[in-house]
Structure 1
Amino acid sequence: MILEPGDVLVVIDVQNDFLPGGRLPVPEGDRVIGPINRLIGLFPHVVVTQDWHVPGHASFAGSHPGRAPFDTVALAYGPQVLWPEHCVQGTAGAELAPGLDATRAGLVIRKGHAPLVDSYSAFLEADRRTRTGLAGYLRERGLRRLFLCGLATDYCVLWSALDARAEGFETLVVEDAVRGIDRDGSVARAWAEMAAAGVLRIASAAITGT
């Protein structure tokens, strides 16, 4: 696929805490860095997202006595999966992976910084009302086709892809530049949800420069 001027690569949450050895490691999460770096060199536009939590965030299991990671609790906006403490502002775990070449990113979106609201999607936080501003940025820049990559397939990539389609953007996920947590078949379900919403899959090797 030959890239066009309105194409943008959206690199989702490639941060230390999501890599092997981090606080919330995605299996083989480090394997996405090579394909993503190659794509960054090809795309006319690059956007990067970061999880950016305050200490004691409501999505952390440690904020709920008696609860464990991956339990689900009811928060004001609905069910919330609880996570190990991760991507806390100002910590090494929240930093972008040192091997990721993010110098060409035109925009960095930090999400999940509201203490009582989690945020998977690059577009909308988990209350489904609070916008990150990404959709407006893309429209004002005339960017129409999104290629998503990063971590994790079954959470932040999934929610971002679904919201991108809901916003009317053509959306593709680079299948060898994502990895998932995959609890109880969650990756397979994520791919099925994305396909049903009109999200396409593409291999990084099929993408060439403008």
Structure 2
Amino acid sequence: MDVVFPADTALIVVDLQPDFMPGGALACFEGDAIVPGIARLLAARRYQTVVATQDWHPPAHASFAAQHAGQVPFQVIALHGQPQTLWPDHCVQGTPGAELDPRVDWSCADLILRKGTRAQVDSYSAFRENHGPDGTRPSTGLAGWLRERGIAQVHVCGLARDVCVLWTAQDAQAEGFGVRFLWELTRPVSPAGDAPTREALQQAGIAIG
């Protein structure tokens, strides 16, 4: 029988959306491989608290390469004084590619957190947006929401392993939560991101498994 986690442990499923699947606008390497496992995990109701994040960009988002003359996807520019990877247009509000993956039953999700909604601020982490024009990383409010529910531990999975899932894990730890990174239920933008991601997790003391 599947183990049911304690009530103080939440699952965060990051950006499991069609645009991050093979054939999508910003396809992650083998992104679709994790869908069955996450679907089974949610169906088993092993977590009493489940959060799903959803990249939800306005059409002219500052992280899109198309908004910067002469730039192409995956180049890095300075945005608000910080490095910003430019992405293909993806997860545009209201488009099919921005929906949560329809192969998963999301009815057990207690919160669907839309991020990246501000045109001039990218948002990788579930806990904090990237740096904005004022130089700060605004809170999404998730940390407070989890604390109000008595959550002390979070498990993270989803896409992409080397960007949004990693940032979510790091910020969860910075907010004082215990963190477990469900490696097999994540995939990277590119396999080249795996070694640096694993190193970053190990250096931070974040559990992998």
**Corresponding residue of 1:116:** 120
**Corresponding residue of 1:139:** 147
| 1:172-193 deviation per Cα after TM superposition (whole angstroms, max 9, x unaligned) | 011111000126x322101110
1:103 and 2:98 aligned: no
CA RMSD of aligned residues (A): 1.2
**Corresponding residue of 1:196:** 203
In 1, Cα distance between equivalents of 2:23 and 2:193: 22
8 Å contact 1:165–1:198 — kept in the other structure? no
In 2, Cα distance between equivalents of 1:77 and 1:146: 31
Gaps of 5+ in 1: 203-210
**Corresponding residue of 2:9:** 7
**Corresponding residue of 1:206:** none
1:75, CA displacement in angstroms? 1.0
In 1, Cα distance between equivalents of 2:24 and 2:79: 26
| 1:151-194 deviation per Cα after TM superposition (whole angstroms, max 9, x unaligned) | 000000010000011111010011111000126x3221011101
> Do the aligned partners of residues 122 and 77 (structure 1) sit closer, same or farther apart at CA in structure 2, a change above 3 Å counting?
farther
| 1:31-65 deviation per Cα after TM superposition (whole angstroms, max 9, x unaligned) | 11111122212211100000010011000000001
In 2, Cα distance between equivalents of 1:80 and 1:192: 21
Helix, strand or coil at the partner of 2:11: strand
**Corresponding residue of 1:63:** 67
In 1, Cα distance between equivalents of 2:102 and 2:81: 34
> Which of 171, 176, 186 is the equivalent residue of 1:168?
176
In 1, Cα distance between equivalents of 2:71 and 2:190: 21
In 1, Cα distance between equivalents of 2:188 and 2:179: 18
In 1, Cα distance between equivalents of 2:23 and 2:105: 20
Counterpart of 2:62 in structure 1: which amino acid?
A
In 1, Cα distance between equivalents of 2:165 and 2:204: 14
Counterpart of 2:175 in structure 1: which amino acid?
E
Q: Which stretch of the first structure deviates more once superposed, 46-55 or 25-34?
A: 25-34
**Corresponding residue of 1:187:** 194
8 Å contact 2:28–2:189 — kept in the other structure? yes
Give the ranges of 4+ consecutive aligned residues of structure 1 lying more than 3 Å apart after TM superposition. none
8 Å contact 2:4–2:47 — kept in the other structure? no
8 Å contact 1:135–1:167 — kept in the other structure? yes
Helix, strand or coil at the partner of 1:56: coil
Helix, strand or coil at the partner of 1:177: strand
Percent of aligned pairs with the same amino acid: 48
In 2, Cα distance between equivalents of 1:18 and 1:6: 30
Helix, strand or coil at the partner of 2:106: coil
Counterpart of 2:156 in structure 1: which amino acid?
L
